[in-house]
Amino acid sequence: MKKNKALLHGYRLKLAVFLNNEYAMRSIISNDEYKTYIEQLPALKNELQENLGKLYNTSIADACIEYHLYHSPEYYDMDIFCDMIYKRVLKHAHGHSINDNIEFENAYDLVTLNAKNKDLISKLSEISIKHGVYATRADAFGKKTYPLELINEENIEKITEETFFNINILNEINPTLTHSTTDSAPQQLKNAREGEQNSTPLFTETHNKNIEREIRINKLTTSMVAYEQQPSSAFTTNTAANQYLNAFYNTNNIKDIHKEISNKIFGLLMWDMTTLKKMKQKPAFKEISKNIKIARKKPCVHSTCNEECSDFESCLNAASRHLRIARNSIKAGTLKTAKDL
């Protein structure tokens, strides 16, 4: 059995969530199979806006996929999931006002009378629950900016993409069981995810499989409920919500060293420019260097690195390497490191 690794908390966990969700969103926007759905998003949002008038807000489309999943027969037997997802509908629509929320539900019903919209919402739900982020935000994602001054413990949550549910975790939750906080299921799940791919610790070990499995599922469920009730508590040590996020994300190899963080952002921006804007690496590097400095063992002496730098090739090579790491992470939809290259 693998040794337990320490659970992350505080800034390192915030960074893990931030980076993983950034990779997951790019994994969605660069997937050719999803392209047609993302292209239809603005029209869907317009139609929702026409129906809702001043009750429209930018998270209404999020509420639509949640509402769709809430009504999906495949989740009917997952009481806990249904309860949590409905709370999210209320959060993203108009949960504070019953009347306004009825207006949302009416607009949803009207818009989904059109089979094309209904299919689109269903597909966006499927993508979101597979990648653990909101596919409904993919159309606006390209416009996001990354001021480095916000990548700090205090502000990073403001620019972090919201975490959605993850089907892999949901599949392991049996809602008919009562809650318990006595086992280390999330930790074991995390260890297994970091080790063998596709392994499911909830179904491994011991001759008494049923008891083991029940306790672990209970623990995971408790963690998930705790996270939904108070997401911010997930960053505090020894809270159930903290265990949920650690189970959810690939949290190994996250260091809160400024150099590493800015290089990861550099890699993300290189990916945006070369993949989304089809720029060549050299001009992309020069453009990003105006705002972020690539960090190397032997630091570049220029405040903005360009061809006048005597070490220009080394600076560009470093950027290239971080682009490869970003590309790898985006392909996997989760953080990868130089060791994975």
Instruction: Name the residue nearer to Zn ion (CB basis): 159 or 292.
Output: 292
Q: Quote the Cα angle for 66-70-73, to 5°.
A: 135
Residues at the contact surface with Zn ion, assessed by CB under 5 A: 300, 305, 309, 311, 315
Which residue matches tokens 């653990």? 132
Which residue matches tokens 């508590």? 233
Instruction: Name the residue nearer to Zn ion (CB basis): 87 or 302.
Output: 302
Closest contact distance (angstroms) between CB of 266 and Zn ion is 13
Closest contact distance (angstroms) between CB of 260 and Zn ion is 18
Q: Are 234 and 16 in contact (CB under 8 A)?
A: no
Instruction: Name the residue nearer to Zn ion (CB basis): 24 or 319.
Output: 319
Instruction: Name the residue nearer to Zn ion (CB basis): 44 or 319.
Output: 319
Instruction: Name the residue nearer to Zn ion (CB basis): 61 or 273.
Output: 273
Q: Are 87 and 31 in contact (CB under 8 A)?
A: no
Closest contact distance (angstroms) between CB of 330 and Zn ion is 26
Q: Are 46 and 158 in contact (CB under 8 A)?
A: no
Which residue matches tokens 């499911």? 200
Closest CA to 168 of 71, 64, 81, 65: 81
Say how far apart CA 213 and CA 173 lie, in whole Å: 10
Q: Are 322 and 267 in contact (CB under 8 A)?
A: yes
Closest contact distance (angstroms) between CB of 267 and Zn ion is 17
Can you say whether the dihedral through the CA atoms of 44, 126, 191, 228 is positive or negative? Answer: positive
Say how far apart CA 164 and CA 86 lie, in whole Å: 13
List of residues 6+ apart from 190 with CB closer than 8 A: 5, 7, 246, 247, 251
Say how far apart CA 14 and CA 157 lie, in whole Å: 7
Say how far apart CA 261 and CA 152 lie, in whole Å: 10
DSSP 272: I
Closest contact distance (angstroms) between CB of 307 and Zn ion is 9
Closest contact distance (angstroms) between CB of 300 and Zn ion is 3
Say how far apart CA 280 and CA 290 lie, in whole Å: 16
Closest contact distance (angstroms) between CB of 185 and Zn ion is 48
Closest contact distance (angstroms) between CB of 286 and Zn ion is 10
Say how far apart CA 305 and CA 63 lie, in whole Å: 44
Closest contact distance (angstroms) between CB of 314 and Zn ion is 7
Instruction: Name the residue nearer to Zn ion (CB basis): 65 or 323.
Output: 323
Instruction: Name the residue nearer to Zn ion (CB basis): 183 or 311.
Output: 311
Can you say whether the dihedral through the CA atoms of 182, 165, 158, 269 is positive or negative? Answer: positive
Instruction: Name the residue nearer to Zn ion (CB basis): 69 or 300.
Output: 300
Angle between helices 60-70 and 41-52 (to 10 degrees): 90
Instruction: Name the residue nearer to Zn ion (CB basis): 255 or 258.
Output: 258
